[in-house]
Chains A and B, each alone.
Chain A
Amino acid sequence: QKEVEQNSGPLSVPEGAIASLNCTYSDRGSQSFFWYRQYSGKSPELIMSIYSNGDKEDGRFTAQLNKASQYVSLLIRDSQPSDSATYLCAVNYGGATNKLIFGTGTLLAVQP
């Protein structure tokens, strides 16, 4: 059973702080990694993708991938109350399928 694990939270951070969201996955053959944000009652929206080891930055968001440790994280700098949402980690295990396996998500609460 290929799994994607996330701490369900809630993760509470003050406004302006760095929020760090973590995700581990079970299969070393995994090739593609994604972070989605889901506001309450809404659909997930893609915010970051990462395919190789290291850091990838996009505005206030940085995705970090460590394939040796089977670990992917998302950092949100200068957190804003509007960042309050559930963050879903998703992993593609490669091969002929484009299917993503999603974690259960981490609820982030940014306190004003």
Chain B
Amino acid sequence: GAGVSQSPSNKVTEKGKDVELRCDPISGHTALYWYRQSLGQGLEFLIYFQGNSAPDKSGLPSDRFSAERTGGSVSTLTIQRTQQEDSAVYLCASSLARPGNIGGYTFGSGTRLTVV
């Protein structure tokens, strides 16, 4: 597609429920990243996929968070047993970058998650 597409744009869920957030990167972009941004805060790195390499999961805050990327394209971020502190905007980005040749990211419009 023309840009990075994320769905849903907004999600309200009850504490303890599981949620899935979807990201469809720009066609041909080999790198895909998930960040989250809490109100008034900076971007917190969560996970990074590069081609067929093992993902960099170093930013996932707990084992309730997981992500996968199928076929080198669409990615799903899953949060199990959601907590109120998970409320944030979850941003997906993609880039053409290869290791040692980094370029800038293109971000999607984000998913605003509210846990009540």
- Which residues of A pack against B, CB within 8 Å? 31-32, 34, 36, 42-46, 49, 88, 92, 94-105
Contacts and interface: CB of A to CB of B under 8 A. Distances in A.
B104 A49 contact: yes
Given A43-B91, A98-B50, A98-B95, A88 B105 contact: no
Contact of B105 (A46, A96, A97, A103): A46
Interface of B: 31, 33, 35, 41-43, 45, 48, 50, 56, 91, 95, 97-100, 102-110
Given A88-B42, A98-B31, A104-B41, A46 B104 contact: yes
> Which of B33, B42, B95, B106 has its CB near the most chain A CB atoms (within 10 A)?
B42
B56 A99 contact: yes
A49 B101 CA distance: 13
B67 to A, nearest CB: 14
Contacts of A104: 41-42
Contacts of A92: 102
A43 B50 contact: no
A59 B84 CA distance: 43
A99 B45 contact: yes
Contact of B43 (A31, A32, A95, A102): A102
Contacts of B42: 88, 102-105
Contact of B102 (A44, A98, A101): A98
- Which 4 residue pairs spanning A and B have beta carbons closest together? A104-B42, A46-B104, A43-B107, A102-B43
Contacts of A95: 99
B48 A43 contact: no
B106 A99 contact: no
